[in-house]
Structure 1
Amino acid sequence: MLEVINGYLMVYFVVLCTLNALLPSIVKPVAACFSRPSNQERTIWEEILKLKAEQKIMSIKDEFAAYSKLQRKINKLEAELKDNSQSRMSKNIAIKSSVQIALQVVLALVMVVSVIWFRRVPIVALKGNLFPLTTILRYPSEMPNAISTHVWVLISNISIKTLLKPLTS
């Protein structure tokens, strides 16, 4: 029923389509490498923890002034940490979207160039006659009952995205 004419091309396009479908999942760990907390944020966090530990030792009734002073320092440091964290998160979003766009452009260029380069090479030949669909499936290849690169990429893209949808959601 099915005869693979060019197995390497078939696998090549399946891999490209799989990478295309998994791209958002691939970008997350790559972007995470660029958005780790800075040394300043770690230092502020350590100081907050130290001040909170010091505050726990104090009695709020006996040393109200010192307790309140520590609380004001903690509030100031937490506000500073929050500002730093928000700027880091916005940078993370910018990096993530930039990396995703760059990878999508590279992958799209590779896909388009490959489809154009191998446009006349049939990937799979079907046994039997698929009369109404023969011309559409083989275009621009001249081999009868063949599936061309264009159609194979279309079928692979739709199939892989459908299969991987539960994993990427």
Structure 2
Amino acid sequence: MLEVINGFLLVYFIILCSLSALVPYLVKPIAACFARPSNEERSVWAEIMKLKAEQKSISMKDEFAAYSKLQRKINKLENQLKDGSQSRISKSLAVKSTIQIVLQAVVAFMTVISVIWFRREPIVALKGDLFPLATMLRYPSDMPNAISTHVWVVISNISIRTLLKPITS
């Protein structure tokens, strides 16, 4: 059986490990705020829609010159929109990767500092004799059959990532 010795640390490290596993999925909505089309792109898009509607009202056979003139304007605006969207997409990728790196670094830093700070605190104690593994599971704690913060973080990380894999895939 299992006896929780430090419930706060148990929950704290589960939350940190969950955040670490979910960072790639938290980045998408955050980065989306920075990747919205500009007002200029929206106005160009509106102009394209207006020109296409105007072009539909013109007969291609009867007024070929006017139809072609509108088509050239539409093509020019679409190329302009395409160039703007490509630069926006590349900027979005840079923002997304920067946010992901920063979030991963913050969570990793908090985890490492917390593991160092609470290294002698046992998280849970297991009933029974764990003879071959007892020393490794409790190190550097002195409590017999305990699981230290180091081991708890490893167990939590593996467990949470395994549990979240079917949900996030």
> Smaller-chain TM-score range?
over 0.9
Q: Secondary structure at the match of 1:124?
A: strand
What displacement does 1:45 show?
0.3
Measure the CA separation in 2 of the matches of 1:166 and 1:87: 34
Answering whether residue 40 of structure 2 is matched by residue 36 of structure 1, we say: no
Q: Which runs of 4+ in 1 moved over 6 A?
A: none
Q: Distance in 1 between matches of 2:134 and 2:107?
A: 29
The SS at the match of 1:129 is coil
SS in 1 for 2:137: helix
Once the two structures are TM-superposed, the CA of residue 35 in structure 1 deviates from its matched residue by 0.5
Distance 1:100 1:168 in 2: 16
1:153 maps to what in 2? 153
Q: How many residues are matched?
A: 169
Amino acid at match of 1:121: E
Q: Percent identity?
A: 75
Structure-1 residue corresponding to 2:66:
66
Unaligned runs of 5+ in 2: none
Deviations 1:117-163 (A, max 9, x none): 00000000001001000001001101000000000000000000000
User: Is 1:135 the counterpart of 2:111 in the alignment?
Assistant: no
Alpha-carbon distance in structure 1 between the residues aligned to 2:19 and 2:68: 56
TM-score normalized with structure 1 length? 0.99
Report what 1:18 is aligned to: 18
Match of 1:75 in 2: 75
Give 1:111's aligned residue.
Answer: 111
1:9 aligned counterpart, secondary structure: helix
Alpha-carbon distance in structure 2 between the residues aligned to 1:142 and 1:113 = 21
Amino acid corresponding to residue 160 of structure 2 in structure 1: I
Q: Please name the residue that 2:54 is paired with.
A: 54
In structure 1, how many angstroms separate the alpha carbons of the residues matched to 2:117 and 2:138? 16
Stretches of structure 1 lacking an aligned partner (at least 5 in a row): none
* Deviations, residues 91-121 of structure 1 (Å, cap 9, x unaligned): 0000000000001111111000000000000
Give, in whole Å, the separation in 2 of the partners of 1:94 and 1:162. 29
TM-score when normalising by structure 2: 0.99
